[in-house]
Amino acid sequence: MKIPKKFFPIVFAFFLTLIMVFIVTGVSTAMNVGFPPNFFALWMKAWAAAWVIAFPAATVVAPLARRLTERVLR
């Protein structure tokens, strides 16, 4: 299934947050609880809770970040 290019910012934010939140919550979970037998369940619970916030936030914040980047760069 191909999605029209006009949806690029939303699809990009979806994949970016999916992967980044996965990595960050994995590291945070390991740092906070170590590697108990239920590590994966704890990680997925943290990932789901964080991603629900990160995806909408990224879609709202991305335009601001893009403008700030353009101001900083020549």
C-alpha 56/C-alpha 1 separation (Å) is 23
| Beta carbons within 8 Å of 43's beta carbon, 6+ residues apart | 25, 26, 29, 30
pTM for this one? 0.83
C-alpha 55/C-alpha 51 separation (Å) is 6
C-alpha 53/C-alpha 27 separation (Å) is 18
Q: How far is CA 17 from the centre of its chain?
A: 2
pLDDT tens, position by position, 7-62:
998 999 999 999 999 999 999 999 999 999 999 999 999 999 999 999 999 999 99
pLDDT tens, position by position, 63-72:
999 999 999 9
